[in-house]
Amino acid sequence: MKNTKRDTSKGAWLFVDGVPAGKFIISVSNNGNKATYPGTYELEETIILTLQRAAILGIPEDHIIYDEAGIEAQAGQSALCRMAVEGAKRGGFMR
C-alpha cells in the first residue's frame, strides 16, 4: 500500500483518492486512459471494493495507488473511526 513514484502511464492501475466529507473515489487507468468509478465510499468500503476490482480486472495489488495524504486527512471521518470515537465517549474515555 506504500505510495511510491511509479510509471502509471503503462499497464493497468487502480487509484484511491480522498474527497471531502470523509469519502473516497476509485479510478482505473489502462495505459494512461483514466476513468473514475461513479460514487463515493467510506474508507473501509473503498479498500474492499478496490481489492475486489483488482481481482476481477487482474490488476496486481502493487498496481493499486493509495493517496496517503488523502487517506490521512479523511480517515478520521470514516465510519469505523466515528464508531470508535462514539464508543470511547460513551465509555468515558473521551469527552
Q: How many CB atoms lie within 10 A of CB 29?
A: 20
Q: What is the pLDDT of residues 63-79, one digit of tens each?
A: 999 887 777 776 666 77
Q: What are the DSSP E strand ranges found in 1-95?
A: 12-19, 23-30, 33-36, 64-66
Residue bearing cell 492501475: 13
- pLDDT, position 1: 45
Mean pLDDT (whole number) for 8-31: 91
CB burial of 31-67 (b: ≥16 within 10 Å; e: otherwise) equals eeeeeeeeebbbbebbbebbeeebeeeebeeebbbbb
Mean pLDDT (whole number) for 38-59: 92
What global pTM score does this model have?
Answer: 0.74
Mean pLDDT (whole number) for 43-64: 92
Q: What is the pLDDT of residues 77-86, one digit of tens each?
A: 677 767 777 7
Mean pLDDT (whole number) for 20-48: 91
- pLDDT, position 95: 59
Mean pLDDT (whole number) for 7-35: 91
In the numeric block, which cell numbers belong to residue 77? 471521518
